[in-house]
Amino acid sequence: MSEKRSEDPRASDHYTTFVRWSEENSSWIGYCPDLFIGGVCHGLTRLEVAARLSILVEDDVRARLEKGEKLPAPSFKDSSL
């Protein structure tokens, strides 16, 4: 888990995330399709996975910005952000 956060604290908020139960794996799986292919974390509770997924997305966005990479365009546009 990283203590340092991106310059734009809301940059990671632009990406849709979701958590889904997997019968096959008997666990909750977290997804962020704009940044990662497939599920990126899993756990026993929806809240555990949502928290872990939020950190992964924020850390990934921060790492891409630190490398000077352009962030992928979010597929879902929320006008309130």
Evaluate whether 47 touches 32 at the Cβ level (below 8 Å): no
Give me the mean pLDDT over the 51-67 stretch: 96
Evaluate whether 67 touches 61 at the Cβ level (below 8 Å): no
Give me the mean pLDDT over the 25-31 stretch: 97
Any residues with CB less than 8 A from the CB of 57 and at least 6 apart, and which? 12, 15, 17, 32, 35
Domains of the chain: 14-66 (3.30.160)
Q: Which bin fits 27, alpha (ψ -120 to 50), beta or left (φ > 0)?
A: beta
> What percentage of residues in the chain have a pLDDT greater than 70?
83
DSSP single-letter state for residue 16:
-
Low-confidence winner among 15-24, 52-61, 70-79 (lowest mean pLDDT): 70-79
